[in-house]
Structure 1
Amino acid sequence: MTDPRRLRRFALPVTAWWMLLALALWLLGKALDQPASLAACAASAALLVAVGEAGDWLRRRITRRSARWRRGPSRPH
């Protein structure tokens, strides 16, 4: 199972980003005279956060693999 502290360390920042992004989208819509409901902005923000987190995961995975590739195969001592 996943450690609850690790899950909380991931969930709290992601939730904060989602809420801030939803609010920013909603305020931007109000400022540009194209208001959308807060629910629609929250859904858009959730999609943006999910794509961003997936991109970050992929970037970290590629970085790990390329670092392993640069080191070369491990040799027995």
Structure 2
Amino acid sequence: MTGPQRVRRVVVSLAVWWLLLALALWLLGTMLDQPASVAQCAASSAFLVALGEAGDWARRRRRAKQES
């Protein structure tokens, strides 16, 4: 896969995860009768996505070091 196509794929993937997680947090808060604003849920989901991506990056880096 070429550079621009790969970047576009990663950006779309992260955006979809972010939106789905924000929706899930908002729905969960609504169901538990502790609603939060959509902006609060979006901020929380952005943090969780960034944390997950950092963990994935660290895992791949550690695995690459072990293989070499």
Name the residue aligned to 1:5: 5
Deviations 1:30-75 (A, max 9, x none): 000000000100000000000000000010000000010xxxxxxx
Question: TM-score, normalized by length of structure 2?
Answer: 0.94
Equivalent position amino acid for 1:40 in 2: Q
Gaps of 5+ in 1: 69-77
Percent sequence identity over aligned pairs: 61
Higher helix share: 2
The alignment yields a C-alpha RMSD, in angstroms, of 0.6
How far the C-alpha of 1:4 sits from its partner, in A, is 1.6
For 1:61 and 1:10, locate their aligned partners in 2 and report how far apart those are by CA, in whole Å. 18
Runs of 5+ in structure 2 lacking a partner? none
Letter in 2 for 1:58: A
Task: Provide the residue aligned with 1:63 in structure 2.
Answer: 63
Larger Rg: 1
Aligned-residue offset at 1:6 = 1.5
Paired with 2:50 and 2:24, the residues of 1 have a C-alpha distance of: 17
Distance 1:4 1:18 in 2: 21
Query: Quick one: which amino acid aligns to residue 8 of structure 1?
Result: R
Q: What does residue 50 of structure 2 align with?
A: 50
Count of residue pairs the alignment pairs up: 66
1:39 aligns with 39
**TM-score when normalising by structure 1:** 0.83
